[in-house]
Amino acid sequence: MEFRIADTFTDSLAKLTSQEQKATKTAAFDLQLNPTSSGLRFHKLDRAKDPNFWSVSANMDIRLIVHRTDTSLLLCYVNHHDDAYNWARRRKIERHPKTGAAQLVEVRETVEEVIVHQPVAKAVPHKPRLFAHTSADDLLAYGVPQEWLEDVQAATEDSLFDVVEHLPQEAAEALLELATGGTPQKPKPLPDDSDPFNHPDAQRRFRIMNNVDELERALKYPWEKWTVFLHPSQRSLVERDCTGTTRVSGSAGTGKTIVGLHRAVYLAHLYPQANILLTTFSPPLANALAVKLERLVGSEGALKDRIEVKAIHDVAQELYTATHGPPAIVDGDELRSHLLATADQLCPGKFAETFLWNEWSEVVDPWQLTTWEAYRDVPRLGRKTRLGSRQREILWQVFEQVQQWLKAEDALTWAGVLDQVTNDITSAGDFPYTFAVVDEAQDMGVAELRFFAAIGTQRPDSLFFTGDLGQRIFQQPFSWKALGIDIRGRSQTLTINYRTSHQIRASADRLLPSTISDVDGNQEDRRNTVSVFNGPAPSVEVHDSPEDEIESVGEWIANHLTMGLQPEEIGVFVRDRPQLDRAITAIKAAGAMPVELDDHIACAPGRIAVSTMHLAKGLEFRAVVVMACDDEVIPQQERIESVADESDLEEVYNTERHLLYVALTRARDYLLVSGVDPASEFLDDL
């Protein structure tokens, strides 16, 4: 007998208390081990629209709703007795007449039973129907259930989300894409004699549990649906037979990291002898990946041992140490001081301090330019400031002396460590990893990409990148192709946003252009991204003083705590450390306790997370406050004033916009953006 679990079951399980969840899981395991046991207390739901719905008692009050046939058993829903029965009486599982996919359809009968029944066009006749020019046959081909066709045809801009929340995922996503001007791809229909549960759209909501370990993983973290259920577009990328280096892009919340995690596990299953690296640019993000991987693979210890999860600098340090001993990494502040002192000695006042440091950290060091000829001839990709040959000669004298100083100190930069490790791999042909899956790739630097390029020489599918050019906040643009990584024709964009409400996503998207290109001309189109759920519009407030802002933010946080949000479901972000005190004071004014995040401290139960925007990467909260968005704070005045050439201003503004975008898109349901008059010019865009 096939044993399946539905995503509606994990959704409902997550809403129960811990004791209720424990009883539910025990019943679920008993069902899997012996689905015909007389001790399970099956009860047929006589008034249900689907004759195959049964209830199973987890305790005196909790009921599991299961769909049982002679050959299969499907866990559908769990709740308290009356709520569980009411849910089942309004649902049925059926094969879609067009696509052939198994769907869990909400039954549409009377106004009392289903919220959205009266065609919206009658209630709001002055609003144009969104799908007036889409035929009924096309709507059905997108997966719209037959009995919801009338409501879909009557939907307007105001009622769209009220309708789609009752529809299967593929239909909801297609309608949202149509409504925003896109042309969704129609699901490929299954042959009439095939199993409807084998359709890709059915597999995103119904998954076979082959053993107790798989069921345990599915039930252990019910809110982490991605461990079991994947969108067909995500699954196709995970299981793709890549003919070359592949990059998966998409705006915040589209599931890029999830695809990367599943790709690493898929490769580990497919190639049992392979060593797999799952990496990103920072230790906190690597730690978050490790936690997610643990939830994904569960007790498959051998599998987990073959997937190494580390930040890229930790990888480089480990590989370097194995061959050369521990590297002596130069302190960044000490290096900068020595660079400026050398320049002051050789060419006092000729170059701005910021320009000198940027030229070293963005050109000379990452590209590991060790000769005058190499510096003279290097393409200055990502650097807009023009330099004459005489200027370069003077600059090289400075950089050459800095390199001699590093050598005398037996010290290395991280770029130097990576360069040595890359050279070791290339010369010896001894590869530490068969595959590398790289998350947040847009913030990897030149030296890191050169290392990955060396790994990628083994086989066409060795490299798999995920990232979003719109979230690039740490790196200047540079050419991947120049380093041997060519993704042309193999860059895929995810367009379904699962994390952020339509209103928050639409507001944040106004900060960025609709399309973003990298240096090699690869383009990321953000226009067709749709969010799968609705929510309140974000609030944007400009206050007369910091004290007024603190009071208002404190009230906003207190109100949301009163609404039932837990402190750990709220995050507060500011541009830089000088604004942290305002954020902490606002949290305390709400009667809550803050936890200040850094590279080592993560979110804590019972506390509201507060940090700078740079540390927001990889985080997610139900409610977010982005405060202290004042003029000269974002974009940061110090960065603007340090620009040596006006042509570099564009890059400063771009990364500042990206930074604010990252902070805003940490929010799932609620967002408040605030500042003090005069406020940041970016708030006008929101």
Q: Which two tokens stand for residue 518?
A: 């990298």
- DSSP, res 127: S
- What are the distances in angstroms from CA 498 to CA 50, 224, 291, 576? 29, 12, 20, 29
- DSSP, res 521: -
CB 40 within 8 A of CB 65: no
| 431 backbone dihedrals φ, ψ, rounded to 5° | -95, 125
> What's the rounded Cα separation, in Å, for the pair 73 and 53?
10
- DSSP, res 188: P
Number of alpha carbons in the 13 Å side-chain half-sphere of residue 401: 16
The three-state secondary structure class of 422 is helix
Sequence-ordered alpha helix ranges (H) in 124-255: 136-141, 149-154, 160-164, 169-179, 200-203, 212-220, 232-238
> What's the rounded Cα separation, in Å, for the pair 616 and 571?
9
Other C-beta atoms closer than 10 Å to the C-beta of 85 total: 19
> What's the rounded Cα separation, in Å, for the pair 93 and 84?
16
Q: Which two tokens stand for residue 660?
A: 């604010």
Side chain identity, residue 330 = V
CB 63 within 8 A of CB 56: yes
Q: Which two tokens stand for residue 626?
A: 């982005």
Strand partners, 5: 75, 207
Is 253 within any annotated ligand binding site? Answer: yes
Q: Which two tokens stand for residue 558?
A: 């207190």
Q: Give Cβ neighbours of residue 276 (< 8 Å, ≥ 6 apart).
A: 264, 267, 268, 306, 307, 308, 433, 434, 435, 436, 437
Is 571 within any annotated ligand binding site? Answer: no
Is 429 within any annotated ligand binding site? Answer: no
CB 310 within 8 A of CB 276: no
Q: SS in 3 state form for 354-415?
A: HHHHHHHHHHHCCCCCCCHHHHHHCCCCCCCCCCCHHHHHHHHHHHHHHHHHHHHCCCECHH
Is 535 within any annotated ligand binding site? Answer: no
Is 251 within any annotated ligand binding site? Answer: yes
Sign of the Cα torsion 291, 296, 298, 300 reads: negative
- Using only the alpha carbons of the chain, give its radius of gyration: 28
Q: Which two tokens stand for residue 684?
A: 């006008």
Is 493 within any annotated ligand binding site? Answer: no
The three-state secondary structure class of 2 is strand
For the chain, how are helix, strand and coil distributed in percent, rounded to 5? 45, 15, 40
CB 139 within 8 A of CB 99: no
Nearest to 364 by CA among 309, 419, 320: 419
> What's the rounded Cα separation, in Å, for the pair 494 and 490?
13
Host H or E run for residue 510: none
> What's the rounded Cα separation, in Å, for the pair 284 and 313?
12
> What's the rounded Cα separation, in Å, for the pair 468 and 492?
11
Q: Report angle CA 309, 314, 319 to the nearest 5 degrees.
A: 100
Is 301 within any annotated ligand binding site? Answer: no
Q: Give Cβ neighbours of residue 513 (< 8 Å, ≥ 6 apart).
A: 526
Q: Which two tokens stand for residue 69?
A: 């046939």
Is 257 within any annotated ligand binding site? Answer: yes
CB 447 within 8 A of CB 440: no
Other C-beta atoms closer than 10 Å to the C-beta of 574 total: 24
Which residues make up each annotated binding site for ATP?
250-257
Binding annotation: 250-257
